[in-house]
Amino acid sequence: MTSARRTHRGLRLVAIPIVAGLIAASCGGDDEGADDAVTEEAGDTAADTGAEEPAPETEAEEPAPETEAEEPAPETEAEEPTATTAPVEEMTPVRGGVLTYLVEAETDTWDIPGANCAVACITVMRQVAEPLAIVNAEGQVEPFLLESIESNEDFTEFTLTMREGVTFHDGTPADGAAVQRNLLQMARGILQGQVMTDLVGNDQDPKAPEQGIVLVDPMTVQVSFTRPFATFPYNIAERTGFLLAPSFWDNPDKTAAVPVGTGPFTMVEWIRGEQTVLEANPDYWRTDANGEQLPYLDGIVFRPVPDVAARRATMEAGDADAQHDSFGENREFWETDWVDSGNGLAPTASDRETSYLMFNNSKPPFDNPDMRRALALCTNREEFIAFRSPGNTIANGPFSEGALGYSTDTGFPEFDPEAGNALLDEIGRPDEIIYGTTNVPSNLLTAELFAEMWSANCGLTVNIDQFDQSELITKAITGDFQTFLWRNHGQSNPGLEFVWWHSRHAEGLALNFGRIVDPELDTLLEQTWATTDPAELDAIAQQISQRFGEQVYNLWLDYTNWIIPTQANVHGINRMTLSGTTGEIPSIAGRVWLHEAWKDA
C-alpha cells in the first residue's frame, strides 16, 4: 500500500427464416485509467476508469455521440422482426488473414456461470459461444440462436424455441436439450445464478432449478419464474445466454478448458496472459447477405494488454489490427490524428456506461451517508474531466443522455469544498480513506489526482492500495475495498441493473458490489421487471437516478466513451447481416462483433 497526500402485454419474438441470420449488438466494469473502468453484467464491472463487471448481464460499460434513447423490447408481437442495422457502404469482403485484437484484460475462466466475465471476456466469447438472443441497434431483443422467444402476459413464463440446423464446434446438435443444460448450469452458478434467483424451484430447499427450466420437446424449453421478469430476454442476449456444448459442461476441468460453442470461430489455444487464438469454423451456420459463408477471416488472435498506453503504442506501430480503449486522454488522438492518417473507428452506441467512484456502503467510512456526501462536495469533477477524461461529460446519475432514465437534475451534490469541510467538521474526519486501484500507470495517476484533491480541498488522508487487474473484481465481489473507480450501467434497459443494486444481492459474494441496502430503491428495481413499456421504464429509472442523488451511493464522474480504433485495412467490425440486409451495429461498452470482419491486405 502506498500513501499519497497531495495538494403489460405478452412478448413474442420470432426469427425470420435465414439466408444470412439474425444478428445485432448488446451490452457489467473494469479498472484502467480515467476511462478504463470495470463493467458489469449481470452484467460488466469495475474500473479505475477501466474495470469491468462480471457474470450476470450486463456490465456493460463506452459510447458514441449521443442520440435518442434506445427502446427496450416491444410489448406487442413481432412475428418477423425487420432489419434494424444501418446500411453500410458496399465493399467486397476479402477472405483470409488473421486479425490481431488487443483487449484490456485477461480472462480467468470461460466457465461463465462463475466467471468474472467483463468487456474483454465478452468480446472473445461473442466470437466463440454465441448468445440465444441479441440486442439490435434500436435496443430491442431479437432471437439469434433461438428461432423464437415468447412470454405470457405477466412475464413469468418464457418459451424458447431453438433454430434448426445449428451445431456446436464438436459436431453435436445445438438443440433444446443443450439450451436446457446451459440454463441449468447458469442457474446453479455462483454469479450467473443470481440473475435467475426467482426461477421456479429456486424457492425450495434444496433448490430445484430443473422445475423452472423444462424441456417441452426436442427444440423447445420453457422457463418459469415466481415473479415478473420482463428483462429476461435481455439477460439471455449476453452472458446468461452464451450457449456452450454439453461436452464443455461434462469436462471435469472446465474452469481451465476452452469453450465449445456455435460461433464463427473455434478457440484452439489459450495461453493465459499472452494470447487466445481462434480459427474459422468451417461449419458455421450463418451466411452474409449474398449467401457467402461466414466468417471471412481465417482466424483471430486476442492479446491481453492491460496498460492503455502500451495498447495505443502497439496500434501506432502497426503491430495490432484493432483494440478497445475507454481512456479519455486518448479520445482526441483516435478521433483526429488516427482517422486523419487514414485509419478507422468502429461504430459505437449512444447508450454509454457511467464512470464513478464506487463506495462500499456496508462499512466505515462510507456506511455513513454524510461521509459519502462530504466526499462528493470535496470532489472537483471538472478537474477530473480536464486532467483524466478530457472531452467527456460530467455524470449526475447512472444513466447517460440518450438512455432511459437520464435526468438533467438528480440532486447529486455539486463541488462545494466549504460545505464539505463544514460537514466533515460536524461528523469527524476518518483516519484514512483507502483508494484501491490496479497497478496500471494511468490508474495510479487518477488515484493520485483524487488523493491530492481531497487533501487540498478538505484535509483528508488518502492511502492508495495497488493490486493486479485480476484482483479488482474479486475485491468488488467480496467487499474487500473502501472505494475505487468503476465503470458500468450502459445496458439499454434499466431492469438489467437489478442485480447491481437490489438489497438481496448485497451479501456474501455480492453482485451489488457497493452493498447498497435500500427498500425504496428495491421497490423501484422490482417495478422495472414488470414492464417492457419504454415510457414506464424511463419514469421508473428517473426515480432511481433521484434516489442515487439523494443518498450518494456512488460518486458519479463522467459518461464513458469507448473507442474501437482499427488499422486502415480492417473492415466490418460490428458489421452484421440481419434479415438479408447488412449494416453496422454500434458496440456498447467496448464489446464488438467480429463475425463479418475482414482485412483487405
Give the chain's domains with CATH numbers: 354-559 (3.10.105.10)
Least confident of 195-199, 329-333, 432-436: 329-333
User: What average pLDDT does range 129-154 have in this prediction?
Assistant: 91
pLDDT of residue 89: 55
Q: Where are the beta strands (DSSP E) in 5-115?
A: 12-14, 30-31, 37-38, 86-87, 98-103
Higher pLDDT, 32 or 194: 194
Burial (CB count within 10 angstroms: exposed 0-12, middle 13-18, buried 19+), residue 454:
buried
Burial (CB count within 10 angstroms: exposed 0-12, middle 13-18, buried 19+), residue 491:
buried
Question: What percentage of the chain carries pLDDT values higher than 90?
Answer: 70
Amino acid at 3: S
pLDDT tens for 276-300 read 999 999 999 999 989 999 999 999 9
Taking the C-alpha atoms of residue 524 and residue 528, their distance in angstroms, rounded to an integer, is: 7
User: What average pLDDT does range 240-262 have in this prediction?
Assistant: 97
Least confident of 84-98, 113-127, 425-439, 554-568: 84-98
pLDDT of residue 173: 98
Q: Which of 551, 512, 518 is nearest to 366 (CA)?
A: 551
pTM (2 decimals)?
0.84
Contact, 393 vs 355, CB < 8 A? no
Least confident of 8-12, 292-296, 377-381: 8-12
pLDDT of residue 52: 39
User: What average pLDDT does range 161-177 have in this prediction?
Assistant: 98
Residue 478 has pLDDT above 70, yes or no: yes
User: What average pLDDT does range 328-342 have in this prediction?
Assistant: 93
pLDDT of residue 57: 37
Contact, 346 vs 591, CB < 8 A? no
* Residue 576 banded pLDDT, cuts 50, 70, 90: confident
Walk across the sheet containing 575-578 and list its strands: 86-87, 581-584, 575-578
User: What average pLDDT does range 90-101 have in this prediction?
Assistant: 93
Residue 383 has pLDDT above 90, yes or no: yes
Question: What percentage of the chain carries pLDDT values higher than 70?
Answer: 84
**Phi first, then psi: what are they for 415, rounded to 5°?**
-60, 120
Least confident of 442-446, 447-451, 543-547: 442-446
Residue 61 has pLDDT above 90, yes or no: no
DSSP code at position 45:
B
Tally Cβ neighbours within 10 Å of residue 550: 16
User: What average pLDDT does range 69-89 have in this prediction?
Assistant: 39
User: What average pLDDT does range 62-67 have in this prediction?
Assistant: 32
pLDDT of residue 11: 53
pLDDT of residue 73: 38
Residue 26 has pLDDT above 70, yes or no: no
pLDDT tens for 481-522 read 999 999 888 777 999 999 999 999 999 989 999 999 999 999
pLDDT of residue 327: 84
Taking the C-alpha atoms of residue 559 and residue 395, their distance in angstroms, rounded to an integer, is: 6
Contact, 320 vs 564, CB < 8 A? no
Residue 42 has pLDDT above 80, yes or no: no
User: What average pLDDT does range 28-40 have in this prediction?
Assistant: 41
Higher pLDDT, 327 or 292: 292
Taking the C-alpha atoms of residue 550 and residue 373, their distance in angstroms, rounded to an integer, is: 9
Taking the C-alpha atoms of residue 370 and residue 521, their distance in angstroms, rounded to an integer, is: 19
pLDDT of residue 350: 66
Least confident of 2-11, 64-73, 154-163: 64-73
Question: What is the gyration radius of the CA atoms in the chain, in angstroms?
Answer: 22
pLDDT of residue 78: 34
* Residue 231 banded pLDDT, cuts 50, 70, 90: very high
Residue 69 has pLDDT above 60, yes or no: no
pLDDT of residue 181: 98
* Residue 16 banded pLDDT, cuts 50, 70, 90: very low
